[in-house]
Amino acid sequence: MDTPEKATQIATPLSKFEDSPVFNYINSLSPIKPVKSIPITQTFNSLNFSSLPSIFTSPHVIAHRETRFLKRNNCSDPTKAGSSSENGNKACTDDGVAMDASQLYDNSAQLQENFDPGASIEDDSVEPSSDSKFVIELPRALKYDCGSPGCSSTPCSVIETNCVSEKDRTFASVVPFVEKDSENGSFEDEVHLQGTSQIEQKKDEVGCDWESLISDAQDLLIFNYHNESEVFKGLIQKSMDPGERFCTSLVTQFSQNGLSGEPKLQMVDSVGCSQQHEMMEGRSAQPGETSELKEINEIEDNLANDDLNNCLTGNPSENMDDEVGVCVQDAYKRVPTLHRGMLRRCLDFERVARRKNLNDGSNCSSSVLLQSNEEIASEDNQLVPLRPTSDSPRCILPGIGLHLNALTLASQDNKNFKLEIFSRQLSLPTSTAFIHSPESGQEPVQESLTSAAAERDMVPVDDGVPLAEDASQTSAYLVGEESNPNSPKKKRRRMELAGESESACKRCNCKKSKCLKLYCECFAAGVYCIEPCSCQDCFNKPIHEDTVLATRKQIESRNPLAFAPKVIRNSDSVPEQGLHLQDESSKTPASARHKRGCNCKKSSCLKKYCECYQGGVGCSINCRCEGCKNTFGRKDGSAIMETDTEQEEEESETCEKSGVDPILQRIEISNNEEQNPGSALPTTPLQYSRPMVQLPFSSKFKPPRSLLSIGPSTAFYTGLNYGKPSILRSQPKFEKRLQTAPEEEMPEILRGNSSPGSGVKTVSPKSKRVSPPNNVLGSSPSRRSGRKLILQSIPSFPSLTPQH
DNA sequence: GAGTTTGAAACT
DNA sequence: CAGTTTCAAACTC
């Protein structure tokens, strides 16, 4: 394997870093010798996630933990230390997750373990000396986490409190822990906190392959972002598929039962990382059962089901699930819509995973799953305002492959957030594909289609069109009616009435392409045509699935990125981080802009003819547009390059025309320069800066179809193309975008301009204004220096230093 | 709703 | 790779 190489690589950077300020800083912070851990962090960055095979995941995870231990327990546990040194390096290498994140995970995990009555005891016995260290470090880590903008203060405080209490007493008793926490918040918080850590831990464990699918990073980030992390936990847990839930409960049980924290957990981790299924097995493995995967497997379904049922039904159980379940409901209610959406996402993800499992043959009681879904949905209905105000993300299917149709199946009830979630779930590409497989049966597909159709059709409540109607229409569609010009039109009209939000939903009107070419928006978006479409001779239907897929393949063979989201957001897509994306990265400019850039000549990029404008993003150097006046930002490079006066003039013009606030524009422009959408500063219009957060689209602007899907979709398409799952795993770090941002920026800035695509395109003679200057500028020292300055101004991260 | 404009996609 | 054609959305009236 790569192990040797990686180790070497790591070693090198370390030496370099030792001198780095960061290193020193870390050193100063920790009494322990961070030597390995710190370098590891940097290594993370330096190394590409792509290099990490799923196989490594488990080791990797272990490594995390061990690394942590090494750091903390350095002397306490020789055995662990040894293993950690080896594994730690490896793990760090492949895991794109920020070291911080890993630490956080470890901390939380450990915290939990320690806090857990049983676990704590064991831990004590195992690592007698580690406690004090842990106490010290844990707070630090937590604080660090808290330091993140979004981090919720509550959890941190709780944790800290706990730590303090621990100091005095040891981790032996959970009760004190609870009490302490209750002081700050509620018991729920405590539980949630625990759950959170569990979840994180779990994710860490699972973090391999399919788990990575979960954009845990995002989720986690969100998690931290809001004070209601506890809610998340609950939701997550709830949303968890049986296996995961079970796992979580297991973790809890582990701790409660007094299972050894580290060693056994590690076993579980390793097991879990191998595969989804395996993962589940591993997780399900009880303390004493770890060895027998098969047995576990058998048991798993039962247990999982039981567990799930218990949770869902709210029956009291031994597990925390009960508590969680209860808490979840309460918490869930309290969760803001936004959060819920996020949670939803998790949920959906889970669902998808489940589906995948089901398809694979392992059926953990689909009924149970459905039940959970329904329950959730019902919750949503009750608690959440169903209608996203403006153009709902829901409509944004783009970027989602045909599989989307299948995915939607699961959550018919909660249509509102589903799409969004799905779109973001990009991570599910593989699973999606599988789900979509014909084998799954027409029914599922159709069903999914139905839901999808319904979703797409879904009109804001105010529209006055009941969902039921849509559903009925959908059903009609399902019946197999090829294309229904009449009804579609009606519907269309309705949609139009509904407003722009509707427009976001793809409806095609193809006449000659048979909806099998990219001309067709539906096809291009990776979704089947539905009733509202006015297409003729449409082949983009489940009935013609084979044809569709074949055509799709063909097109992809021609252009692998054909179905990739047209608008790519750096931060979300995390191309740099993505394992698979790396492959893509070479092809796709990782700019936060339109994938290929526009070629507008007459529209001045002020009309929807312009894909950039349509996508709500500014034009980039990739664009070959003429007279660009894109209100979302003009070609970034050129903007800078061009004389200020010219720019200003243009800006003023734009402002006048668009009515956009000049200041805003300036900001945008500056952002464009940086081309770092992912960073705190949005590259594109502010409103879109954080699609993840479900920012409302301005009424003025229609939701760019690909907007929300950008991040995930990117990954998605990658996955789709390559059929690799994963992708998102790299994100776990969300801890702080700030951290990642610089990393991403750096590459982007450095390469972004020089990126193959941009460079080539820029050169193109067509690019009237921009091209020549851009290229020149791109390479020009002045420009670079400017960017470099910007980068430098940003707090340097370890990752940046080491590699470059 | 018909016709025009526009630029992406597809083709040569 | 450039030029041309096809196509369907966006736009206008």
Determine contact, residues A61/A110, Cβ cutoff 8 Å: no
Determine contact, residues A97/A136, Cβ cutoff 8 Å: no
Of chain A residues 680-699, which have a beta carbon within 7 Å of strand B?
A: none
- B11 C1' to A399 CA distance, Å: 26
Radius of gyration of chain A (CA): 26
Supply the DSSP string of A740-754, one letter for each residue: HHHHHHHHIIIIIHH
Q: How far is Cα A582 from Cα A747, in angstroms, rounded to an integer?
A: 12
Does residue A164 reach within 7 angstroms of strand C, measured from its CB? Answer: no
Q: How far is Cα A500 from Cα A485, in angstroms, rounded to an integer?
A: 21
Determine contact, residues A154/A142, Cβ cutoff 8 Å: no
- A506 has pLDDT over 50: yes
Q: How far is Cα A295 from Cα A96, in angstroms, rounded to an integer?
A: 33
Mean pLDDT of the A272-282 span = 37
pLDDT attached to residue A592: 54
pLDDT attached to residue A24: 65
**Residue A25's pLDDT band (cuts 50, 70, 90):** low
Q: How far is Cα A702 from Cα A696, in angstroms, rounded to an integer?
A: 10
Q: How far is Cα A95 from Cα A43, in angstroms, rounded to an integer?
A: 9
- B7 C1' to A416 CA distance, Å: 33
The residue among A391, A577, A197, A102 whose CA lies nearest residue A585 is A577
**Residue A385's pLDDT band (cuts 50, 70, 90):** very low
- C6 C1' to A509 CA distance, Å: 15
The residue among A408, A297, A284 whose CA lies nearest residue A361 is A297
With CA of A558 and C1' of each nucleotide, the nearest comes out as B10
Q: How far is Cα A183 from Cα A172, in angstroms, rounded to an integer?
A: 19
Pull the structure tokens for residue A65.
Answer: 């933990």
With CA of A534 and C1' of each nucleotide, the nearest comes out as C8
The residue among A351, A329, A137 whose CA lies nearest residue A231 is A329
Determine contact, residues A68/A130, Cβ cutoff 8 Å: no
- C4 C1' to A544 CA distance, Å: 31
Q: How far is Cα A90 from Cα A130, in angstroms, rounded to an integer?
A: 23
DSSP bridge partners of A594: A567
DSSP bridge partners of A567: A594
With CA of A518 and C1' of each nucleotide, the nearest comes out as B9
- A362 has pLDDT over 50: no
SS3 label, residue A703: coil
Of chain A residues 757-786, which have a beta carbon within 7 Å of strand B?
A: none
Give per-residue burial for A639-668: e unless 16+ CB within 10 Å, then b.
Answer: bbbbeeeebeebbeebbeebebeeeebebb
- B9 C1' to A636 CA distance, Å: 26
Q: How far is Cα A2 from Cα A243, in angstroms, rounded to an integer?
A: 31
Alpha helices in A628-730 (DSSP H): 636-641, 644-658, 662-674, 686-689, 710-722
- B11 C1' to A179 CA distance, Å: 73
Neighbouring residues of A639: CB distance < 8 A, sequence distance ≥ 6: A633, A647, A669, A672, A673
Q: How far is Cα A447 from Cα A545, in angstroms, rounded to an integer?
A: 14
Determine contact, residues A629/A605, Cβ cutoff 8 Å: yes
SS3 label, residue A567: strand
- For A594, list phi and psi in degrees, rounded to 5: -65, 140
Mean pLDDT of chain A: 44
pLDDT attached to residue A636: 53
Does residue A599 reach within 7 angstroms of strand C, measured from its CB? Answer: no
pLDDT attached to residue A32: 56
Q: How far is Cα A158 from Cα A229, in angstroms, rounded to an integer?
A: 12
Per mean pLDDT, which range of A466-480, A495-509, A536-550, A647-661 is the poorest?
Answer: A466-480
pLDDT attached to residue A556: 86
Does residue A764 reach within 7 angstroms of strand C, measured from its CB? Answer: yes
Neighbouring residues of A554: CB distance < 8 A, sequence distance ≥ 6: none
The residue among A622, A548, A585 whose CA lies nearest residue A718 is A585
- For A604, list phi and psi in degrees, rounded to 5: 55, 20
Q: What share of chain A is helix, strand, coil (3-state, %, to 5)?
A: 70, 0, 30
Does residue A657 reach within 7 angstroms of strand C, measured from its CB? Answer: no
Which amino acid is it at A625? C
- A277 has pLDDT over 50: no
Q: How far is Cα A803 from Cα A93, in angstroms, rounded to an integer?
A: 12
SS3 label, residue A176: helix
Q: How does pLDDT run across A742-799, given as a tens digit for each residue?
A: 333 333 333 434 333 333 333 333 333 333 333 333 333 333 333 333 333 333 333 3
Does residue A614 reach within 7 angstroms of strand C, measured from its CB? Answer: yes
- A99 has pLDDT over 50: no
Mean pLDDT of the A516-543 span = 87
Of chain A residues 582-611, which have a beta carbon within 7 Å of strand B?
A: 596, 598-604, 607, 609-611
Q: How far is Cα A130 from Cα A114, in angstroms, rounded to an integer?
A: 11
Determine contact, residues A14/A99, Cβ cutoff 8 Å: no
- A554 has pLDDT over 70: yes
Pull the structure tokens for residue A232.
Answer: 């998340």
Q: How does pLDDT run across A135-158, given as a tens digit for each residue?
A: 333 334 333 333 333 333 333 333
Pull the structure tokens for residue A306.
Answer: 């039981």
**Residue A22's pLDDT band (cuts 50, 70, 90):** low
The residue among A416, A443, A395 whose CA lies nearest residue A703 is A395
pLDDT attached to residue A550: 87
Determine contact, residues A235/A343, Cβ cutoff 8 Å: yes
The residue among A693, A627, A612, A698 whose CA lies nearest residue A660 is A698
Q: What is the DSSP letter of A509?
A: -
Does residue A791 reach within 7 angstroms of strand B, measured from its CB? Answer: no
Mean pLDDT of the A269-288 span = 38
Tell me which nucleotides of strand B come within 7 A of a protein CB.
1, 5-10
- For A439, list phi and psi in degrees, rounded to 5: -55, -35
**Residue A622's pLDDT band (cuts 50, 70, 90):** confident
pLDDT attached to residue A570: 58
Pull the structure tokens for residue A156.
Answer: 């941190």
Q: How far is Cα A423 from Cα A87, in angstroms, rounded to an integer?
A: 35
Does residue A184 reach within 7 angstroms of strand C, measured from its CB? Answer: no
Of chain A residues 472-511, which have a beta carbon within 7 Å of strand B?
A: 489, 493
Determine contact, residues A521/A533, Cβ cutoff 8 Å: no
Determine contact, residues A678/A590, Cβ cutoff 8 Å: no
Does residue A294 reach within 7 angstroms of strand B, measured from its CB? Answer: no
Exposed, middle or buried: residue A793 (CB in 10 Å: 0-12, 13-18, 19+)? exposed
With CA of A520 and C1' of each nucleotide, the nearest comes out as C8
- A531 has pLDDT over 70: yes
Neighbouring residues of A800: CB distance < 8 A, sequence distance ≥ 6: A45, A742, A743, A746, A791
With CA of A626 and C1' of each nucleotide, the nearest comes out as B7
Q: How far is Cα A759 from Cα A764, in angstroms, rounded to an integer?
A: 9
- A555 has pLDDT over 80: yes
Mean pLDDT of the A9-27 span = 50
Mean pLDDT of the A677-681 span = 35
Q: How far is Cα A703 from Cα A390, in angstroms, rounded to an integer?
A: 8
The residue among A595, A577, A587, A583 whose CA lies nearest residue A728 is A577
Does residue A607 reach within 7 angstroms of strand C, measured from its CB? Answer: yes
Pull the structure tokens for residue A251.
Answer: 């973790």
Higher per-residue pLDDT: A802 or A516: A516
CA A571, A572, A574 angle in degrees (round to 5)?
A: 70
Mean pLDDT of the A310-338 span = 40
Residues belonging to chain A: 804
pLDDT attached to residue A117: 40
Does residue A760 reach within 7 angstroms of strand C, measured from its CB? Answer: yes
C-alpha to C-alpha distances, A56 to A12, A95, A300, A363, A794, nearest whole angstrom: 21, 8, 24, 27, 32
- A233 has pLDDT over 60: no
Q: What is the DSSP letter of A594?
A: B
With CA of A517 and C1' of each nucleotide, the nearest comes out as B9
Does residue A547 reach within 7 angstroms of strand C, measured from its CB? Answer: no
**Residue A475's pLDDT band (cuts 50, 70, 90):** very low
How far from each other are the two terminal CA atoms of chain A, in whole angstroms?
25
With CA of A705 and C1' of each nucleotide, the nearest comes out as C9
The residue among A207, A219, A240 whose CA lies nearest residue A96 is A207
Determine contact, residues A574/A218, Cβ cutoff 8 Å: no
Of chain A residues 733-752, which have a beta carbon within 7 Å of strand B?
A: none
Q: How does pLDDT run across A586-605, given as a tens digit for each residue?
A: 333 334 577 788 889 888 88
pLDDT attached to residue A618: 85
Q: Which residue is nearest to nucleotide C9 (CA to C1')?
A: A609
Does residue A519 reach within 7 angstroms of strand C, measured from its CB? Answer: yes
- C3 C1' to A773 CA distance, Å: 25
- C8 C1' to A528 CA distance, Å: 17
Q: How far is Cα A201 from Cα A441, in angstroms, rounded to an integer?
A: 36
- B6 C1' to A698 CA distance, Å: 25
Exposed, middle or buried: residue A330 (CB in 10 Å: 0-12, 13-18, 19+)? middle
Q: How does pLDDT run across A29-64, given as a tens digit for each residue?
A: 655 554 444 333 333 333 333 333 332 333 333 333
Does residue A573 reach within 7 angstroms of strand C, measured from its CB? Answer: no
**Residue A20's pLDDT band (cuts 50, 70, 90):** low
